[in-house]
Chain A
Amino acid sequence: MATTIATQKPVAMTGNGGCALAMKQINPDVVAAYPITPQTTIVEEFASYVANGAVDTEYINVESEHSAMSASMGASAAGARVMTATSSQGLAYMWELLSIAAAMRLPIVMHNVNRALSGPLNIHCDQSDSMGARDMGWIHLFGENAQEAYDNTIMSIRIAEHADILLPVMVLYDGFIISHAIDRFEVLEDADVKAFVGERIPERALLDTDNPMTFGPFVMPAYYTEHRYAMRNALMKAKDVVLEVSKEYGALTGRTYGLFEEYKLDDAEIGIVVIGSTAGTAKYVVDEMRAKGIKVGVLKPRLFRPFPAEEIAGALSHLKAVAVMDRADSLGAAGGPVSLEVASALYGVANRPEVQGYVYGLGGREVGPDLIGSVVEDLQKIAAGDKPTTAAKYLGVKE
């Protein structure tokens, strides 16, 4: 298919800078935000765009993340296109509202720059914040680097506002590693972003006062289940919409995205599943191992909610052993959230691969090629007949 790819320019920017730029190009109607590390530089840079007249957004400097989400919800219900951003405790502080935002079917797009949850207090990267909010009805899109964070921001507007979906989206990427490190990536012209995202035309809006409507009613048992069922169905449909929007974005930019990325997985015997920036390191390790003749590949989930279980199971089913690396623990469970999802997805597969879970990189602990190399060594042993441990292994713990 012959397509004309839009003119883009390379920039050297932090991930947060790229996301603030994407927000500028989207020019949302309302942004309500509260500062929290490592998200803060997004809202600072966006505030500068507002102050300099580069956008005509109504920017609400709320007094807390709880109010950031509350105001975002009010604005979205009013009919506006709304964005916000947070991290860690901020996301946790919004928690009760995350579920209401999804139930009210409000297409808010929020950056959550992944950071460890307290305690102990830690400002550095892991994914325990968004993983803790994984069952709230939001779409979770992870990016590996600044390019993906930028691209996901733009695509999320279309995904959230799609008539079949109308659900909030979290654009996720690793704190500091992506948010604060300067990366080289391609950005679109403002006009192309504007044309791609279009205008939000809400079907129902509070400001349509000629057609008054009650948002957020009280629901008795007679209807509650049906509301949740409708949410679930809309969320599950997001898989198709993510693919549809990503395809269109691919035609515009030349960068194609799916539900997940497969790296040298086709002919692999063993594979590593890992989300976010560590996938980049894992790909580097795969290249090194491949040079030694070890048939290893990587599967990097992009869409975590809804979890594309069937598709991921299909992509992993030919392997002998799979390592699932979680940058978060699901305390008290057998493993981190991703390993539980992957193991569950593979359960119905005949001759399923063995799954070994790992918990790594908590609170910003560095993860280098050596550590991932040790995972490959483990996998080789499992492929040769060793049994995986039921509980996930903690990588790099100082004993």
Chain B
Amino acid sequence: MATIKELSKREDLLSGGHSLCAGCGASIAVRQVLLGVRGPVVCGSATGCLEVSTTSFPMTAWKTSFIHNAFENSAATMSGVEAAYQVLKRKGKIPADKRIKFVAFGGDGGTYDIGLQSLSGAMERGHDMVYVCYDNGAYMNTGIQRSGATPFGASTTTSPAGKAGQGKPQWRKDLTQIMAAHHIPYVAQASVSHWKDLVDKAEKAFAVEGPAFLNVLAPCPRGWRVPNDMTIEIAKLGVQTGFWPLYEIVDGEYKISFKPKELKPVVDFLKPQGRFKHLFKPGNEQLLETFQSEVTKSWEKLKKLAGVE
């Protein structure tokens, strides 16, 4: 487990100078994940903010080998890269002692929705790779449209709050649980606010043989309607309120990584965000109660799975 002193000596594999927004959670997630890999790594990315803002030809912010293919196929593309590594190593075209790690990144749109099939296939086939979803809860690159990861009640450009609608009417998909159902050796949920936990989980994910999945809460100040300097704070509130519990599933065993005695009320997480503003209007108390009861229910369920009181 790395200390901050050790991490400060490691090189950032995603350089500065890219065009991601100030306060973007995605770049923080990527840099923390890459701090967890030792030795050569090949990165892949789905189409989205991360790719568009880091690879504008003829420049690149990636110090690693990098491939972007399309929106929904980061996992399948990296399956091919990993398969090529296995065979070229077997054929002696890559030195036997050379170990290369593989990581695919996707936002929640490219992972929960359009990329789910590609991700599921790659995990089921058992490729030795890490898939990282940076979850900012909407299609941010195309202008804040709702995704399968968008929280209940969030106002997005395709689930706007208005006279008749109160933001996204559905609960968010639980991708971490879906990935756990793939019986892969390592699944974890992490947040950019808990850097040590995230880097530790990335290290474990890279260390396992076979597929690993990391779901990382990566706030988008633009989409969440919070100030640029609030990224880490709002992500922390997501964790402290139980909206985004930190946990891992190692060979099917659940372990909660952060166990507050008492969860903060979920409104502490919702209130600072402009996308939930309408939930606080008189008459919408019921929606806030629904949100709280869903979070509580999920937290209790998770505690049961992890065998804790």
Contact = CB atoms under 8 A, between A and B. Distances in A.
A62 B76 contact: yes
Nearest to B62: A214
B76 A70 contact: yes
A71 B80 CA distance: 4
B125 interface: yes
A70 B87 contact: no
Nearest to B55: A217
B114 to A, nearest CB: 10
B91 interface: yes
Given A77-B81, A212-B63, A217-B60, A29 B76 contact: no
Contact of A70 (B58, B63, B80, B93): B80
11 contacts: A32-B79, A32-B83, A56-B91, A62-B79, A71-B79, A74-B78, A74-B83, A75-B84, A212-B62, A214-B55, A215-B66
A100 B70 contact: yes
B78 to A, nearest CB: 6
Contact of A207 (B57, B100, B122): B100
B70 A209 contact: no
Contact of A63 (B40, B51, B88, B121): B121
Given A74-B77, A100-B70, A220-B57, A30 B42 contact: no
Contact of B57 (A64, A78, A218): A218
Contact of A97 (B60, B62, B63, B73): B73
A32 B84 CA distance: 11
B124 interface: yes
A54 B94 CA distance: 22
A317 interface: no
A97 B70 contact: yes
Interface string A36-73: 00000000000000000000111011111011001111
Interface of B: 40-42, 44, 51-52, 55-58, 60, 62-70, 72-73, 76-88, 90-91, 93-94, 100, 117-118, 120-122, 124-125
Grouping DSSP codes into helix (H, G, I), strand (E, B) and loop, the A interface class, with mixed when no group exceeds half, is mixed
A73 B55 contact: no
A96 B114 CA distance: 14
Given A62-B125, A209-B64, A212-B66, 18 more contacts: A60-B79, A61-B125, A64-B118, A66-B118, A67-B117, A67-B121, A70-B70, A70-B118, A74-B79, A77-B67, A97-B73, A206-B65, A207-B100, A208-B65, A214-B55, A214-B62, A217-B55, A223-B57
B121 A62 contact: yes
A57 B84 CA distance: 9
Interface string A92-107: 0000110010000000
B70 A96 contact: yes
Contact of A75 (B52, B65, B80): B80
A202 B54 CA distance: 25
Contacts of B80: 30, 32, 60, 70-78, 82
Nearest to A28: B87
Contacts of B83: 30, 32, 58, 60, 71, 74-75, 80
